[in-house]
Amino acid sequence: MLVLVPLQHKMKFSLLSLTVTLLFFQFRISSAQDSLKHCCTDEFMKSVYQKNPFAQYNRQQLELFTQQYHANNNTRQIYVIPVVFHIIHNYGSENISDAQVRDAVKILNEDYSRMNSDTADIVNTFKPIAANIGFEFRLATIAPNGNCTNGIEHIQSNTTYGGGEQSKLNPWPREKYLNIWVTRELASGAAGYTYLPGTASADADGIMILSTYVGSTGTGNYQTARALTHEIGHWFNLLHPWGNSNSPGVSCGDDNVNDTPETKGWTTCNLNGASCGSTLDNVQNYMEYAYCSRMFTSGQKTRMLAAINSSVAGRNNLWSNSNLIATGTVTPNTTVTCIPVADFIGSSVNVCVGGSIQLSDVSWNAKVIYRFWNISGANASSLTDSVISISFNTPGIYSVSLTAGNNSGSDEITKTAFIQVISDTDLHAHSYAENFEDNSFPDSDFQPENSNDINWYLASPIGYDGSSHCLALHNFSSPGNETYGVDGPSFDLSTFANPNLTFHVAYAQKTAVNNDKLRVMISLNCGQNWFPRYSKSGSQLATSPLQTSNFFPDATEWRMETVNLSLYAASTNLRIKFEVISNGGNNIFIDDINLGGYSSTENLLTDNSIQISPNPALTGVTVTGNSLIGNTISIYDLLGRNIFSEIPTANTETINLNSISSGIYFIEIKSSTEKKTFRFVKM
């Protein structure tokens, strides 16, 4: 192992412990200090060593180069650094504007050239060593594939929730660009992180930052914007002033820079603060955790200049003339006109016949000069505006296309089956039951709202009461903080004698702190607005003990839930939705959905042996059970019309279906005090 000689009289530091430091930084907002999160240094060190056995060697080489590097040998005044921002979003506020990104770049350039307006506030003791680093950040205008870019790409992905390494999508070559990934959340709960040079794989080498910590406009503000300045300092080999940890205020430490006083670190802006024998700490340093960052020191400048002149992790290629040509960053403030990348969002994906949906053009990469919407069957307020309103006269599933262009060209995007238009007259009446045994999902009744990798699906062979299918959400793989909805059918509730919605649920927590929430939502306007009528989470929702692996229920791990809808008994168009707000927990299963068939919070039929077969049926269907004698068996169609009724004299009843047309029907078994309804399909 190489032995490092400490710089001047600075205290020793552990090379091993700084080999890869996961660097988190949070700032105080509006004079209220955010709670700081601890890093996972040891865990990430192990991970990096397993993936990159040369990480420690790279760190040693860079430290030796840094100690031998002399800033007075540097003749270059400005180092230009090409930058690309990857905005990872799910069409929420995290999909920040290009203007907010450009504002962030402006703040970076001010901070790294000592042109920030608040340098006047630097404590007099440190003003002489407040340094102009000489770095200039420029958004790339040429992408790795040679295409035109504005240096900002918008990528739709649910990894924006609980962001981390999995959120580092579409990395551009690190020796050519500084990659900055922007997400809505970080799994760590921190504002951002990065790796020191030479410790990350090429695809992971860059900055992770929250969307609220980018720039001073939009979702950001000026104080939180300095988090990016902090993280880029780490990317160029700076440590925290108290050393290689994420725990300021604990013990004296050192950053291996000769003009930053040894310190315990600060999380508040005590400008008179002193620790570890120093007469005054550099509390206003960008690498501190105080909320009043103003400066880098000359010693930190030397360390960053060494990093950008070192071949470790390709930092020395960033500013080469050939790379500036390749990335289109030779000339400052270069203006290019790229072809837009077409994209759009809708205010909803479900609407009643005659109801309206708003579509908005969110194309990126260039200003859109002209556009054309293509929605067959729609009534549109315009086909060329950036925001349009559409409605439909006919129920169905509709696709939407958008062409967006300018003088450089155009791009088109089509989102198939994007909008579901629901009939406002063809509603379920009298009774309803769904046990998913017809093996059909999505269908006219149930449609998932999300289009992500994690979504509702039809699980098999799993189901309540021995059935072979049920509705399921594979929540075990969810990053958490994501909402998964599945829109259900509409009902004319005024026709129901018993307006109780019942369903069976199965769920186990992954850990005691995983509070996944299940809600039943209702809408009185075909899904334009929803509000909850049932909500349970965590241990209250659980039907089984904790299970750290993927949960799949057995026959004993189901519970029936009842949602009383009597308040809306007069509604002629009530729609239901099942919604899971994920906390990164475990799988959730739903089965035996029934409206009007139960009247209490428990199963009324004590005998669960009833079977309907075959299902689907062609010429006849057989009902079997241990308690059919003397009860009434009826068949209803989707409109609630009774087409068959009989009181069986045996516990097996076969019904001839030759006179019934193909479609979906309900078999109701009813006694004087209870009833149960099953859905079946006539082929």
Task: List active site positions.
Answer: 231
Alpha helices in 113-235 (DSSP H): 222-235
If one counts every other C-beta atom within 10 angstroms of the C-beta of residue 426, the result is 14
Partners of residue 86 on adjacent β-strands: 153, 181
As a residue count, the chain comes to: 683
- Specify whether the backbone of 273 is left (phi greater than 0), alpha (psi in -120 to 50) or beta: beta
- What are 591's strand-pairing partners? 504
Per the CB < 8 A criterion, the answer to whether 259 and 129 are in contact is: yes
Q: Which contiguous run of DSSP H or E holds residue 56? A: helix 55-68
Contact 658, 664 (CB under 8 A): no
Joined tokens for residue 428: 């379920």
Contact 591/435 with Cβ under 8 angstroms? yes
Q: Which residues pair with 142 in a beta bridge?
A: 148
CA gap 168, 173 in Å, rounded: 13
666, 678 Cβ separation under 8 angstroms: yes
Q: Which helix (H) or strand (E) holds 137?
A: strand 135-139
User: Mapping DSSP to helix (H, G, I), strand (E, B) and coil, where does residue 97 land?
Assistant: coil
Rg (CA), the chain: 31
List alpha helices for 494-648, DSSP H. Answer: 538-541
CA separation for the pair 394, 261 (Å, rounded): 73
Question: Which one-letter amino acid corresponds to residue 462?
Answer: I
CA angle, 515 then 516 then 522, to 5°: 130
Is residue 278 within 8 Å of residue 267, measured between CB atoms?
A: no
* The residue type at 145: N
Please give the backbone phi and psi of residue 523, each rounded to the nearest 5 degrees, phi first: -135, 140
Counting beta carbons within 10 angstroms of the beta carbon of residue 417, is it exposed (0 to 12), middle (13 to 18) or buried (19 or more)? middle
Residues 6+ apart with CB under 8 A from 672: none
Q: What share of the chain is helix, strand, coil (3-state, %, to 5)?
A: 20, 30, 50
* Nearest CA among 163, 287, 290 for reference residue 223: 290
At 482, list the tokens: 């994501």
Which amino acid is it at 426? D
Helix, strand or coil for residue 154?
Answer: strand
| Alpha carbon separation from 405 to 93, 266, 383 (Å, rounded) | 25, 51, 14
Cis amide leading into 442 (omega within 30): yes
CB 354 within 8 A of CB 391: yes
